[in-house]
Structures are given as C-alpha cells and as structure tokens.
Amino acid sequence: MRNTMVTPLIELEHVGRRYPGPVPTEALRDVSLSVMPGEFVAILGPSGAGKSTLLNILGMLDAPTCGTYRFNALRTDDMPERRKSQIRAQYIGFVFQAFHLLPYRSVEENVAMSGLYAGVAVQERMLRARRALSKVGLEHKANAGPLDLSGGERQRVAIARAICNNPRVVVCDEPTGNLDSQRAESIMEIFSNLNREGQTVVMVTHNEAQTRFAHRTIHMSDGMIIEDSAQSVSKGTDA
Amino acid sequence: MHSEWNFHAGHPENGSWPDRYRGSSIRRVDVFREVVASLCAQPGRTILTLFGTVLGVAAFVAVTGIVQTATGQISDGFSQLEATTVRVTDQEPKLAGDASLGFPIDTAERLCNLNGVSDATLMWVVDDEAHPLSIATDPYTEASMLPGYSVIAADNHIAGFADHGMTAGSALDAFQVDTGVRAAMLGSQTAKRLGITDLAVPRTIYLGGESFSVIGIMSPSSRIPQLDTSVVIPDTVALGWLGAPTQRNPARAVASTETGAASLIARQAPYALRADAPERALADAPQDWSKATRGVRKSMTGLVAGLAGLSLLIGCVSIAGATMASVTERIPEFGLRRSLGARTTDIAIQIITETAVIGIIGGLLGGNIGLVIIVVVSISQSWTAVVDPLLLLLGPVIGVISGVAAGICPAVRASRISPIGALQHG
C-alpha cells in the first residue's frame, strides 16, 4: 500500500492538453493522477488514447494547456524552460521505442551522454555509464557500436542511459514495441529489477501482458483515465 | 539511492554553474568533445562542408599575396629606374625656325654640376625621314636600310650614363667627340645584325656611304634599351654632317639622379641648360613612385576587401547549406539531447561551435594552400614572394567569421525543433 505521508513524485490535477489547428484536438482531458516514489505504473490504452501525450507531459517535454502538474511538489506550469531542462537532466530518465542511440558513439559514450547536460564531469560520467551497463548486463559491450547490437541489446543500452544519472523517475514510451516477445520479456525483467531497487517507473504500453510487472495499471481512452487499478475505481468513458 | 533534491541551487554536485557558456548547462570542454565527435561521425560530410571555405580562403590569400608581390615588383621598378631619371627635351616645335641644337654642347657637364645628378648625357636620334641612312659593312655592295635600327648622335658620356660595359673595344671618349672623329659604337643587336662579333681586327661600317671606324660594341642597357639596336656616333660629327636635330627627333638631355632628387633636378635643369630661355627646355619630372604605388595599393586594397567579402560569402554559403542539411538529418539526435536536459541554447551553441570549428579548419587549410599558390606563381615569374604575415592570420579569422555567421540560421532552426516531434522523427 502507498504511504500517504510521502509527497507524491508526480501529481496531475485536472490536466488537459489541447493541440490547436484547423481541427483542434483534445489529447488529454481532465486527467488527475499521483505517482508515489518507488511505484511501477503501466499506462495502457489504444492508439490515440493520449498515453504518449501524458508521458511527454510527465517528462516535461510538453506542457499541459490546463490543470496543474507538480513534480516533487513543485508546480511546473510557471516553471521556466531552463529549470525544466535541468530537472530532465538530473531527475528524469527516458526510454523510447526507437532507442535513439547515436550510431557514431560507442555504447559506453551513448550511456554517458545522460550526464552531459547535468554538468557531470567526463570521468564520473564514464564511471556511471559502466555501472549502468553492468545493471543491464552489457558491460562487456561497452566499446561496441550500437549498430553491432541486437534490438534487445540496444534497448538495454537505452535503459542504461536512462538510469545512468540516477533519476527519480524513468518514463518509458512503448519500450518493447520494436522487440519480439522473448526480448520484450527480458526488458520487462530489467524494469522490474530496477523497480525492486527503488526506481520509480512509468511506462506506456500496448501489451496488456506486460502490466503484470507493474504495481499499478492505468487504462486510458480518448484522452481520459478510465481505470486506475490503485484506486480500484472504474470510470465510464463519458465521465 | 538518490542524492538530495536541489532544484534551486543549480548543479546538485557543484552548487553553481562554472566553466559553462552563459545560459548553457553543458561544460565548455564537453561542448568541444561533442563537436569533435559530431564532425568525426561523418567525415565525408565534414570534408564537403570544408571545401567551400578552403576554396574561398585559398583564393583570397593567393590573390592578395600575388597582388602584394606584384605591387612589390612595381615599386622596385619605379625606385630603381624611373624615379632616378630626368629627361629634358628641346621644345623646338614651339620655336619655329630655330634649327640650332637647342642645348649647349657641354650639357652633360652642366647637369652633372647640379647637386644630386650622378650621370648625364646629351643625345638625339637622327631623323630617318630627313636623313635616311643605310648601314653596311662593305662600301661596294648595295647598302640597305636596316628596319628597326637607328643612328643616335651622342656625347662621350653616353656609355657611362647607360651604365653598361663594352663587350668589345672601348666607348667614345672626349677627344673623339671634341675633334669630330668618325667613330661609331654599335649596340649588341646591331653588331650581331652586321656580323661583327669582335674588334680584334679594325672594322669599318658605312652610314649613308660615309665610313665610320667601329671603336666598340656595347652590352645591353636597361637604362636606354634603344641603344641595343643603334649605331652611336659623336654628336659633333652628326651636327657637322647632318645638321641640327629635327623637330621630329629633338635633342634630349638625360640625367641620372640620386633617389629622391629627381623632382628637384627636373625643376633646376632648364635653368642650368638654358638660362636664357628655360621655357625651351622641358623637363619630364619622373612620376612620384611612392604616390604611384600608393595608388596601386589603394586600388589593390579595394580589390582585397572585395575578395575577402567574396570568400566570406563562399564560406558562409557552403557551411550554411551543408549544416542546414545536417540539421535535418540529425533531428532525432536533437530530440534526444533535449530529452537528456539540453536547453535550446545548448543545441544552438553546439551547432555554432561546429560551424566555427569547420570555418577555422577551412581557413587554416585555405591559407596554407593560398601560400603555396603564391610561392609557385612567384617562382614561375621569377618574383620575390611578398606575403604580409597578417594575411596568414586572416585566413582562419575569415573562416571563423564565416563559420559563425553560417551557423546562426541552422542553430536557430535546430534549437526550435520540438523535442516531441524530433523523437517521433526517429
């Protein structure tokens, strides 16, 4: 059970995201959500449900058009862009479906990039990268190029990059979307292990089977949360 | 597991943000590491980007250096010869009916008495229309005119003034001139044309049927190049035999002066030669070579400024075009960097540093290639290469200016890329 005395790491209150244009789109509608430190949250839903928009807002790559987002009790809506960048650099790790590894850098250098904008000195970055790689079982591939790795190994490198800087939360956008079921399973095992060590993980996925690794599953549809397993409350789509 | 939260104090480990560019979250040394890694990632692209800058700067350095070298040659020419020669011409046409020589017979001595004159001579070219003189070595064969050859009447100072030696025999002396000896000196081309190569055996030539003893063969002269294709006879002989110089080819006094004295001598000479009628003696003041070279340099400075602008433009266009293409290619990378905490200024600084580094490398390479071109051209023209050391510094400076200027547009574009769109791009 969650400890209600602990400040939520992530707290959304009636958050909405509207994309303007000839046909304005409501990507998120009245989303309220709290994520406590150490939770493993899986966000499920069909395409267009607003999962990625929610994840981008949680990762401060995007901002809500209404509502309030607090990160460790700090309001982000009036936060300057440079502060958001600083929080991203120090406290948030990203894992993407497309890995986003730089092909001209070694595995170790790719991982060490996470400390680049956090102002970590190069020796320390390399040390942290080695540690992160050993956590995902790839320390022996430190000097290889990303193109020499399999898809599963590339995603493990991306996970190592996400955790290298010791972030408060790792946000993952379809981290197994490009992998076969066997490799997807091993990636989920890594997330599960990280979470057991205390790492907060928020993951967007299409695959319902992967929700078994999470403490909590949030179902989304049409930009709204329709079910949150933590609250054991099911909402109608018209709610 | 986690260090203490510290959103407000800057960097959690240092507590401040030293060794960074203003508004940037990345260390300066890391900016350069990232730039070097990016440039080395695609060497082909980097070389192509360099090419325009190298070409522009090489052209600028080469043309500027060649212009400087050529200007140096012009200066040498002015200073060594033209600037130290004063010519005084008899203004016979202004005084119709006056058929005298126009100058005193001791013209050379009078000019040499002026302070600053080292040598002087009196001479005129015999008018070949008034006196068409054939030149021959044999009195019995039909003599003919030698096209392009002339007969020059001169005093005994001409050989000394022309500052050339004799390849054979000796020069006219005062006795021969004063007493009207029919003696002749041959220019090197004239002697060759007449088949006279040495004077071991006394030789005679016939000018218009009159015999003249060849006393010497002159070596080529840079001061009076016309002597090479001439026969020089004493002015006293010419006066007595052919009469005074004609209006077409008037007598001319020529003085060699010390450097810087020519203008003064040009003013004094008419009074020294014709105190009774100084207006009759027209002295050609030599062109002020320092003014002339200043003029050349001024026009060259304009040319060089234009070239510098052109090379800047070439460098800018080349770098900007390639960098724009590179930014489009690297959209996912910029999205990733933003997700890792890069600010828009970090992205812009990286792009501008990349283009500035390309500019510096292009400027250095271009400068060196330009230098090689200057040396090769100078050697092929037998010139002494003159290169301002500042010119070599200017290459990298032009490179870095064009690099930074060219990087501004791509940097603004890259920094405006939405991280979400960029990450979906990959």
Which among A11, A90, A128, A59 is positioned nearest to B8, based on CA atoms? A90
Q: For residue A94, what pLDDT is reported?
A: 95
The reply to whether residue B420 touches residue A74, judged by beta carbons under 8 angstroms, is no
Mean pLDDT of B294-316: 76
Q: Are B115 and B244 in a shared domain?
A: yes
Query: Is B83 domain-assigned?
Result: no
B122, B154 contact by CB (below 8 A): yes
Residue of A78, A82, A157 for testing the chain B interface, max B β-carbons within 10 Å: A82
Residue ranges, chain A, pLDDT below 70: 1-5, 231-239
Q: Do B265 and B332 sit in the same domain of this protein?
A: no
Q: Please determine, for residue B352, whether its predicted confidence score (pLDDT) is greater than 90.
A: yes
- The more confidently predicted of residues B106 and A31 is A31
| B203 within domain boundaries | yes
- The alpha carbon of residue B172 and the mean position of all alpha carbons in its chain are separated, in whole angstroms, by 38
Residues B325 and B400 in one domain: yes
Per-residue pLDDT, A237: 36
Nearest CA in chain A to B422: A100
Domain edge (last residue) among B246, B273, B300 = B273
Q: Do B25 and A168 touch (CB under 8 A)?
A: no
Give the model's pLDDT for residue A235: 41
B58 shares a domain with B196: no
* Residues B424/B338, Cβ–Cβ less than 8 Å: no
Would the pLDDT of B117 be above 50?
A: yes
pLDDT: is B23 or A93 the higher one? A93
Between CA B151 and CA A6 the distance in angstroms is 119
Q: pLDDT at residue B288 above 80?
A: no
Higher pLDDT, B131 or B33: B33
Tell me, what's the pLDDT at B79? 55
Q: Are residues B265 and B307 in the same domain?
A: no
Buried-exposed string B340-378: b where 16+ CB fall within 10 A, e elsewhere = bbbbbbbbbbbbbbbbbbbbbbbbbbbbbbbbebbeebb
Say yes or no to pLDDT of B96 above 50: no
Averaged confidence pLDDT in chain B: 81
Our count of domains for chain B comes to: 2
Position B294 pLDDT exceeds 90: no
| Reported pTM | 0.66
* pLDDT value of position B426: 57
Residue B171 lies in a domain: yes
B258 and B339 inside one domain: no
Contacting B residues, span 383-422, partner chain A, CB-CB under 8 Å: 419-420
Residues B258 and B305 in one domain: no
Domain span at residue B370? 28-76+291-425
pLDDT tens-digit series, residues B356-404: 999 999 999 999 999 999 999 888 888 888 888 888 888 889 889 989 9
Count the neighbouring beta carbons within 10 Å of the beta carbon of residue A189: 11
User: Same domain, yes or no, for B255 and B137?
Assistant: yes
pLDDT for residue B108: 87
- Which of B244, B273, B302 is the last residue in one of the domains? B273
Same domain, B34 and B125: no
* List of chain B residues whose C-beta atoms are within 8 Å of the C-beta of residue A94: 339-340
Is pLDDT above 80 for B214?
Answer: yes
Contact A86 B341 (CB under 8 A): yes
Residue A166 CA to residue A160 CA, distance in Å, equals: 10
Domain-located, residue B87: no
Tell me the H-state helices in B256-343. 262-273, 289-329, 331-339
Q: Do B332 and A100 touch (CB under 8 A)?
A: yes
Indicate if B264 and B301 belong to the same structural domain. Answer: no
**Residue B227 and residue B337 in one domain:** no
Quick one: pLDDT at residue B106? 84
Question: What are the residues facing A224 on neighbouring strands?
Answer: A221
**Tokens, residue B135:** 């030149």
Last residue of a domain, one of B273, B302, B329: B273
**Closest among B238, B236, B239, B188 to B214, alpha carbons compared:** B188
**What ipTM was assigned to the predicted interfaces of this complex?**
0.90
Q: Touching check for B18 and chain A: CB below 8 Å? A: no
Greatest mean pLDDT among B51-60, B97-106, B297-306: B51-60
Over residues B213-220, mean pLDDT: 88
- pLDDT of res. A179: 86
Q: Could you tell me if B121 and B240 lie in one domain?
A: yes
Q: Per-residue pLDDT tens for A53-92?
A: 999 999 999 999 999 999 999 999 889 998 999 999 999 9
**How much is the average pLDDT of B164-185?**
86
Closest to B156 measured CA to CA, from B100, B215, B108: B108
The answer to whether B45 contacts chain A (CB < 8 Å) is: no
% residues pLDDT > 70 (chain B) = 84
Best of A88, A126, A128, A201 to disrupt the B interface (most B CBs within 10 Å) is A88
**Domains of chain A, start order:** 10-102+158-234 (3.40.50.300)
